[in-house]
Structure 1
Amino acid sequence: MFVSKAFQALGRSLIILGGLTLLFVAYQLWGTGVLTDRYQSDLEEDFTELIEVVEESTSTTDTPKTSDTDISNYAELLWRPEGQAMAQIVIPKMGLTATVVSGVSSESLRRGPGHFPDTPMPGMPGNSAIAGHRTTWGAPFGNIEKLEPGDEIKIQTIQGSFTYVVLEQNAGRGNFIVSPNEFDVLNQNFNSSPNRLTLVSCHPKLTARNRIIVVAELIGEPAESFQRPDYLSQPRFTFSFDEEVIAEALGEDGFEDLSQGAIERDTSLLNEEEPEVNTQVEESNRSEISDVSTTQENLTPTTQPQQVSGFGEGLSGDRSAITPSITWGLALITLIMTTGFIAKRWRRWPTYFLSLAPIIAVMLVWFFNLDRALPSY
């Protein structure tokens, strides 16, 4: 009799576990998308208000913003805090129109595509990078593999609208695959087509094993370059380059010699190269920034080392969510066991009815934290 009861308890446990697994999968595939849609609706309104604020400020200002205060205020509007709206991206081939947020943390990528804060803003000189989920949380980059050479990517920031064209990779494709720790795709040291946009997502679908990369080239002149307000206080991070990987991914003509000697020469000549970069920006935007471009600290050299805390860290899972996941999981198990215990000693269906709402609430909180802890895709 004891063995029979044990098997019955085991069977019920497996049924409950299987049901929770199916519910969690449904939450990831569809429930997260509902939350992202709500985030995107609010972000779209925020970005529209941001554009209106900038336009109103510009229309009431007759003189160029040459003071340090003016430049700082404009930079704060351009470089938004973590998780806030900072651009809008439109990719017709993917059927995508989304508001881009600042940052690539787990919280940020739940809201929509996220901009790597240690790369230039879209439209600025350099290689701007944006990450997005491919399966969960609205799957903004769900069709990223459909992008082909020549497809357009349009981005709007408070500096204006910019158009990028997808570059051809190996075998005529518009993408290539790298491992999650290949920071080199965010490299700023380009010889040809230095003004780029790099899209990052998980590959293959339903996993976070690798990253799929799409690189696009800016059409036309870049916008004026503004430093991030906290840029000078940030520790620097120098990329470690894998020349064979980069040569295979983007072509040998797209990169300069990335040997150690070349990197050291680039670093030693950085101060000598800065005036040249400034001159290029000034010539391409002479009518707009004739006075501002004379401010040396206002321009961020595209060849400077970039700080990176994680390559798509929001795609790799949040370790800080492990403890809450375990805690809420145990709370759910306790609540289910308590419900079963009370149902045996009281009335079954009234007990189930009264405990349904608390179980659903605890389960959703557990799902939320469990999704944070696991690699997102």
Structure 2
Amino acid sequence: MRHGHASEVDPRPPSAMTFVPLVTPLSSRPVSDDDRYRTEATPSQWPVVETNSPPRDTPRPARVRPSRWDRPPDPHDWRWAIGQLGRALITTGLMMFAFVGYQLWGTGIQEARSQDQLGKDFTAAIKDVGATTTSTIAVIDPNVPAPPTTVAGPADQPFPHTIAEGEVVAAIKIPAINLTKYVVAGVGIHDLRKGVGHFPNTPFPGQLGNAAIAGHRTTYGQPFYDLNKLKPGDDVGITTILGGTYVYVVTGSEEVGKNDYYVITDSDPNRATLTLITCTPVGTSSRRLVIHATLDLLRSSPVGKAALFYGQTPPDSSSPDGLSGEPAITTTTLAAAVSTLPTDSAAPVATTVPSETPAFAAPTDAFNQGWFADSNAYLPVILWGLVLLGVAIASYRLAKRQRKLWLAFVVGAVPFLVVSYFFFENVNRLLPAAI
């Protein structure tokens, strides 16, 4: 009690009481009822004060990320250098993957173009000979014994004009693996890019002795990819530009080392045999897969005498057995000429020549192309590389001008693929055959 007055007690329970902060009055006057009301008022009862801030319930505007074309350039610091290096490595990796694709499938386009031209040349050569041939190959009856393959008196075959390596000399058909290809003269780097090739130091198909043919297994059309599926009794038909059609019957297969040259030598100069060779296992060149076959005389044209004539003039008719007066092939000259083979598809080459083999000069192709051996490929590689870079830059600039990145892929995809093909084609000329 103060001054005789009873103290006032708040009738509200403690839980319902509103606690207000103590406010130090600006004057010594007592707190009025208006001040008490303003102090105890709820926020909804506060006076509204206009400000420049938006209401709290107004949603914030979405943060807009600037377009890639509007971003400021990055500072050229170490982060920028690492980023550029990463982009370069990624681009190089993608180009290497593309080059592998060219090796596996793009080279087949080049081989197909060559086969088309070889087909025209083969048809013209057959017409010049004046022979009528058929590509149909009879199927051997396993119950009928194989005829003898030894020929006592071989027939004289017409000797063709000069044949250069890389020209078509025959057509080969193997029904068991659905293979039909034209055969070129020679087994050099450029020869086997056209298809399968005949070893120039072996007898011609249809002649006495062992004719040897090699082909790629994983690149340039993969002609001998399924060669391992051949089994004894399968037919191998060959039609030559000399006008003869010959059917060889597979007798067996074997795997040998890449330097085992004995597999294509003549085991019997009085028998007509065939050897097909490619690399094994698939995708490697560590060993050679060899298929042996023997001529079926009952279904073949007359067998001729062995003759070698690649890159040479026809022999003098006055020479015995149609042979020229050139010196015989020696072991030294032949080994120097064929000591190294295209490792993806080339096959062993004999280092000795039987005395019955005609004495023609050895092939001049050494088959030893290594890294950067084709000096004529440097300029095309540089030019096509610049064109490829120009296509990429032009496509990006067009997309930047139109502010649409997808436009670079739509417009530049086809030109980039076409130019890349020719670029890879010339780069491939600088690589060894093993790659």
TM-score by length of 1: 0.65
Residue 367 (structure 1) aligns with: 424
Q: 1:96 to 1:366 in 2, by over 3 A?
A: same
Q: 1:307 aligned to 334, 338, 362, which one?
A: 362
User: Whole-Å Cα distance in 1 between the matches of residues 254 and 365 of structure 2?
Assistant: 21
Uncovered stretches (5+) of structure 1, i.e. residues with no partner: 58-70, 169-173, 242-257, 271-300
1:222 paired with 2:303, answer yes
RMSD: 3.9
Q: 2:125 aligned to 41, 47, 50, which one?
A: 50
User: Whole-Å Cα distance in 2 between the matches of residues 45 and 339 of structure 1?
Assistant: 36
Question: Could you tell which deviates more after superposition, 326-335 or 123-132?
Answer: 326-335
Offset at 1:376? 5.0
Q: 1:165 to 1:343 in 2, by over 3 A?
A: closer
- Fraction of identical pairs, as percent: 31
1:236 paired with 2:291, answer no
Q: Any idea what the Cα deviations from partners look like across 1:304-351, whole Å, max 9, x if unmatched?
A: 69835668x3xx756565545665555566566677778898974689
Uncovered stretches (5+) of structure 2, i.e. residues with no partner: 1-75, 133-155, 316-323, 336-349
1:210 paired with 2:287, answer yes
Offset at 1:139? 0.8
1:178 paired with 2:257, answer yes
Offset at 1:167? 2.3
Q: 1:22 aligned to 62, 81, 97, which one?
A: 97
Residue 166 (structure 1) aligns with: 250
1:89 paired with 2:89, answer no
Greater per-residue helix proportion = 1
Instruction: Compare relative contact order (CA 8 Å, sep 6+) and give the higher one, 1 or 2.
Output: 1
> Counterparts of 1:1-377 in structure 2 under 5 Å?
2-55=77-130, 74-77=158-161, 80-157=163-240, 158-168=242-252, 174-179=253-258, 181-188=259-266, 190-191=267-268, 194-220=271-297, 222-228=303-309, 229-230=312-313, 236-238=329-331, 270=355, 301-302=356-357, 307=362, 313=367, 321-323=373-375, 348=400, 360=417, 362-372=419-429, 373-376=431-434
Matched to 2:159, the amino acid is: A
Matched to 2:362, the amino acid is: Q
Q: How many residues align?
A: 298
Q: Any idea what the Cα deviations from partners look like across 1:67-90, whole Å, max 9, x if unmatched?
A: xxxx99x4234x632222211111
Residue 296 (structure 1) aligns with: none
Q: Do the aligned residues in 1 keep the contact of 2:395 with 2:408 (CA within 8 Å)?
A: yes
TM-score by length of 2: 0.58
Matched to 1:122, the amino acid is: P
Query: Secondary structure of 1:80's partner?
Result: coil
Q: Any idea what the Cα deviations from partners look like across 1:32-71, whole Å, max 9, x if unmatched?
A: 21222222222222212211221179xxxxxxxxxxxxx9
Q: 1:122 to 1:339 in 2, by over 3 A?
A: closer
Offset at 1:161? 1.0
Q: Do the aligned residues in 2 keep the contact of 1:154 with 1:163 (CA within 8 Å)?
A: yes
Q: 1:146 to 1:114 in 2, by over 3 A?
A: same
Q: 1:305 to 1:149 in 2, by over 3 A?
A: farther
User: Whole-Å Cα distance in 1 between the matches of residues 412 and 384 of structure 2?
Assistant: 11
Q: Do the aligned residues in 1 keep the contact of 2:239 with 2:246 (CA within 8 Å)?
A: yes
Matched to 1:223, the amino acid is: G
Q: 1:139 to 1:376 in 2, by over 3 A?
A: farther
User: Whole-Å Cα distance in 1 between the matches of residues 398 and 119 of structure 2?
Assistant: 51
Query: Secondary structure of 2:238's partner?
Result: strand
Q: Do the aligned residues in 2 keep the contact of 1:134 with 1:140 (CA within 8 Å)?
A: yes
Larger Rg computed on CA atoms: 2
User: Whole-Å Cα distance in 2 between the matches of residues 35 and 341 of structure 1?
Assistant: 28
Question: Could you tell which deviates more after superposition, 340-349 or 191-200?
Answer: 340-349
Q: Do the aligned residues in 2 keep the contact of 1:193 with 1:217 (CA within 8 Å)?
A: no
User: Whole-Å Cα distance in 2 between the matches of residues 87 and 37 of structure 1?
Assistant: 16
User: Whole-Å Cα distance in 2 between the matches of residues 112 and 337 of structure 1?
Assistant: 32
User: Whole-Å Cα distance in 2 between the matches of residues 368 and 51 of structure 1?
Assistant: 32
Query: Secondary structure of 2:200's partner?
Result: coil
Q: 1:326 to 1:56 in 2, by over 3 A?
A: closer
User: Whole-Å Cα distance in 2 between the matches of residues 305 and 226 of structure 1?
Assistant: 8
Q: Any idea what the Cα deviations from partners look like across 1:262-308, whole Å, max 9, x if unmatched?
A: x8xx98xx4xxxxxxxxxxxxxxxxxxxxxxxxxxxxxx33769835
